[in-house]
Amino acid sequence: MKHLIPYLQDDQKAADYLRQLRWPDGSKCPRCGSDAVEPRERCDNGLQRCNCGHCAVRLGQQFAMFTDWTSSIFEESKLRPLEWLLVMGLWQLTLNATDIAAAANIQERTAQRCIPTWASTSRSSHRRDGASTSAGLGATP
């Protein structure tokens, strides 16, 4: 968790961290996979917008924008990048959903929904040794 602290200061830093998890080698277009993308202005919640020139040409548009969260598990969530990162960090400390909800000041139901989602997508890099990913968290509805 300690390594997360520098990123827990604002949404932009949190978004930067989450982007590195998704694209360790740099942002790629979620539609075509091209890495020839051009950073644009950030969204209000700190997410980086990018334009894919390849898709813009293909679609006959001036721009083909995407954000850090386009086509990811985060896209449908109402949580901000900072809240996501906090939930992830707390989950790594093996807190349960009730504690995480209290610490992150979010609904317990939200915590219950987010945590298994995160757990299922982070097995490769952030697996907790020997811990059950569903311990005490309840099933996703």
Interface residue list for Zn ion (CB under 5 A)? 29, 31-32, 34, 52, 54-55
Q: For Zn ion, which is the closer residue by CB, 70 or 77?
A: 70
Q: How far is the CB of 34 from Zn ion (least distance, A)?
A: 5
Amino acid at 60: G
Q: Which two tokens stand for residue 75?
A: 């896209």
Tally of residues, the chain: 141
Q: How far is the CB of 69 from Zn ion (least distance, A)?
A: 16
* Residues paired with residue 66 on neighbouring β-strands, in sequence order: 50
CB closest to Zn ion, residue no: 29
Q: How far is the CB of 57 from Zn ion (least distance, A)?
A: 9
Beta-strand ranges (E) seen in the chain are 37-39, 49-52, 65-67
